[in-house]
Amino acid sequence: MLIRKSRKRPLANGEPLLHDDHSRPRTRREFIAQGMMAGTATVFGASLFSLFANPRMAAAALSPDLEGLKNSCGIAVQGAGKIPFICFDLAGGASIAGSNVLLGKSGGQMDFLSTAGYSKLGLPGDMLPNDPAFVNEEMGLAFHSDSAFLRGIQQSTSAGTRAATNGAIIAARSENDTGNNPHNPMYGIHKAGADGSLLSLVGSRSTESGGNSLAPMSLINPQVRPTKIDQPSDVTGLVDVGDLIGILDQKDAVAVMESIQRISDKKMSKVNTRITTDEAVKELVRCGYIKSADLADRFGNPAALDPMADTDIVGPGGIFSSAEFDSNSEFRKTASVMKLVLNGYAGAGTITMGGYDYHTGERATGERRDEQAGRCMGACLEYAARVGMPLMLYVFSDGSNSSNGRIDDSEDGRGKGEWTGDNQQTAASFFLVYNPAGRPVAARNQIGFMRADGSVETASSPAANNVNQLVQTVLLNYMALHGEQGDFASTFMGHGLGNAASQDRLIAFENIVSGTIPPQP
């Protein structure tokens, strides 16, 4: 007699994952991967937001005589002008390939795997991408039509945003259930030129990488360690312009601070400090007053700092409704990071989402969590469209899952294979690029490939079996979006991606800007 075991109860988003084959979590990374820690903390550091719907078009102008001194004092309004970069660190080992983004054999995404290979990736025989009905290419990159990532992205984006997006998937194995994979590319993104007007890097965790996974050791620069950003209340506390604006209105307060600068500058011109660095000291004093006036000019209204007050993000016409925003910490975290990065106030940001070690013996838990991640990815793409900025969005995880082929036919299981164990052989990462000028032109949508059985072919690219070289591949593609791939070797000396011809085979898209983003009219 055949005895069928009862299916395990699906878990709600945010509910901890308890696995019989895993030891009790001991580190912060293990707690996050199993969904037992959200990663909240106090934020401190300076930031910059606008008083306008489109901060990159904000005048943020002081009086003409002082406005001309801002550049000499290193006060940037629009950051370094590089393409904003946001990465999602799905802690625990999310299943990216197959059930979400299609990953094929050496011929590309549509060079299909075997039926057994797709079964390992959680797809039953009646949902294979060999049938065009199960392929969605509305964002250029081919997704499975019932991908939970895709469903979430569709909920957060307009058709126009998706039509101006393209992407690429990278076959790349990494170790399961560990934050020790050096996945995070943010230091390299900064080294490639990305920077913010006040913050270089931000991340939703208070770690050296800003996320769950590590940063490659060779790229770490302590001077630009990510500032911790996790929720809107953290953001609103980033800038303190003092008590003067509480006494005067903003316009008068700025005028007073400008007058102080002029008086100080006139006095300093008559002073001889009798030290060898006389001019340097005077420059520091002069710039200190200009920076204070500039802060008051741009941040005098505290409400302007709040992502919750941005109608493009929250409210009737926003990406999130007020109710869902108030009830979901992942949405609030995403909004806080994307507000900074897409307005040019930080060069790059990491959003860590925990609880993606979801091989729970059923499918529904993974589907729910992947859909929520998709909502957050889509929010970043849609906000980029609303502020008129390009965006490179990168998604990675530590290892992956596989299915034994048993079907979860519950409503949320959607008739797909249950996730039953960790499997680093099925791992992949992917990135999406939004371009307000139109969909990026692809040379390829897949880097590396899988074997027919659904395992990564470890010789298919330098990234396939080396996480450091996976990061280098992402950095190469970031530079290529600016038309700067020729500078890759000199920027990242000692890389493992081969010569220029080898690097060309790893580049997904033609450049969408030339060096920097052109100023908006």
Contact 85, 394 (CB under 8 A): yes
- Running DSSP on this structure, what letter comes out for residue 424? G
In the chain, how long is the greatest CA-to-CA distance?
A: 100
Which tokens go with 468?
Answer: 């450091």
3-state SS assignment for residue 332 = helix
Task: Find out whether 503 and 488 touch, Cβ atoms under 8 Å.
Answer: yes
Strands (E), 240-390: 346-353
d(CA 325, CA 344): 23
Residues near 490 by beta carbon (within 8 Å), at least 6 away in sequence: none
Q: How many whole angstroms separate alpha carbon 216 and alpha carbon 187?
A: 8
pLDDT of residue 233: 79
Residue 201, classed as helix, strand or coil, is: strand
Question: What pLDDT, on a 0 to 100 scale, did the predictor assign at position 58?
Answer: 39
Helix (H) or strand (E) holding 339: helix 329-342
Residue 192 CA to residue 187 CA, distance in Å, equals: 9
Residue with tokens 């904000």: 58
Per-residue pLDDT, 265: 72
Q: What is the pLDDT of residue 505?
A: 98
Of 324, 322, 297, 299, the closest CA to residue 311 belongs to 322
- For 167, the enclosing helix (H) or strand (E) is strand 165-171
The 3-state DSSP class for residue 80 equals coil
- pLDDT given at position 257: 66
Ramachandran region of residue 94, left (φ > 0), alpha (ψ -120 to 50) or beta? beta
Helices 278-299 and 250-268: crossing angle in degrees, nearest 10, is 170
Per-residue model confidence (pLDDT) at position 32: 64
pLDDT for 271 equals 75
Interatomic CA distance for residues 7 and 262, integer angstroms: 74
Give the helix, strand, coil percentages of the chain, each rounded to 5: 35, 15, 50
Distance from C-alpha of 421 to C-alpha of 404, rounded to nearest angstrom: 8
Strand segments (E) across 368-463: 391-397, 401-408, 416-422, 428-434, 446-447
What is the SS3 assignment for 477?
Answer: helix
Please give the model's pTM, rounded to 2 decimal places.
0.83
Residue 169, SS3? Answer: strand
DSSP label at 371? H
Task: Give the closest residue to 392 by CA, choosing from 431, 426, 360.
Answer: 431
What is the pLDDT, as a whole number, of residue 393? 98
Residue 132 is classified by DSSP as: G
Q: Please check whether residue 416 is in contact with residue 407, taking contact to mean a CB–CB distance below 8 angstroms.
A: yes
Ramachandran bin of 74, using left for φ above 0, alpha for ψ from -120 to 50, beta for the remaining angles: left
The pLDDT, as a whole number, for residue 466 is: 97
**Whole-number Cα distances in Å, 86 to 146, 168, 172, 444:** 25, 15, 19, 21
Instruction: Report the pLDDT value the prediction gives residue 399, as an integer from 0 to 100.
Output: 94
Q: Which regions of the chain are under pLDDT 50? A: 1, 19, 39-60
